Amino acid sequence: MTTKSSEVRKMSAVERKTLYFTAPGRDNTDALLKFVKEYAEATGINHIVVASTTGETGVKASEVFKNFNVVVVTHHAGFRELGAKELIEENRLKILENGAHILTATHALSSVERAIRKEFGTLQPLELVAHTLRRLGEGTKVCVEITLMAADAGLIPVDRDIIAVAGSSRGADTALLIKPANASRFFDLKIREVIAKPREFE
């Protein structure tokens, strides 16, 4: 007969610190990047995917993670204004000088389905997935999305864990340890650990 104490001894578990911000937003960026770097160094994770709109967060991440494979994922062209890119040229050059990659591509969790919703008022499966992920915060949804995009671009491996960093609007307040997958194999993607996120969010 197995005793309770022997069952506890057989249990396999990992104990880590998680950083929870009291509010979302760009003010958390510096603290988040510092915390993620410590986490990455402690766990041996070498691939960092970061969401950045204007490139401000991308520059900071490319400086903090200089010896890592950093992929900065931007909004697609025309996201807010027809044909326009939101990545500031000065920031683009700094990110590249720091040795990071920049990815501008169709958003994995909206794509043509966003046009269908706008035109016909009908929610499609991709945006339903996005809204479900937002129950953990906007940053969680974006972390998953940029991981799919970076994997599809061949900029990160799909056979080892990566860290994805994103925010609720500007800056960064969320980080996840993710086992990546290509978009066509979405259900192979695994959120392994929550490294940091805001406790309160819209």
Q: Note the pLDDT of residue 7.
A: 54
pLDDT score for 202: 82
> Could you tell me if residue 13 is inside a domain?
no
pTM equals 0.91
Rounded distance, CA 172 to CA 61, Å?
A: 10
Number of domains composing the chain: 1
Residue 115 phi, psi (nearest 5) = -65, -40
Domain CATH number, residue 91: 3.40.1380.20
- What is the per-residue pLDDT for 1? 46
pLDDT at position 122 is: 86
- As a whole number, the mean pLDDT across the chain is 93
Q: What is the per-residue pLDDT for 111?
A: 84
- Asked if residue 148 is part of any domain, the answer here is yes
6 is a domain residue: no
Q: Which domain covers residue 143, as residue numbers?
A: 18-198
The percent of residues above 70 in pLDDT, for the chain, comes to: 95
pLDDT in tens, 52-105: 999 999 999 999 999 999 999 999 998 888 988 999 999 999 999 999 999 999
Confidence of residue 115 (pLDDT cuts 50, 70, 90): confident
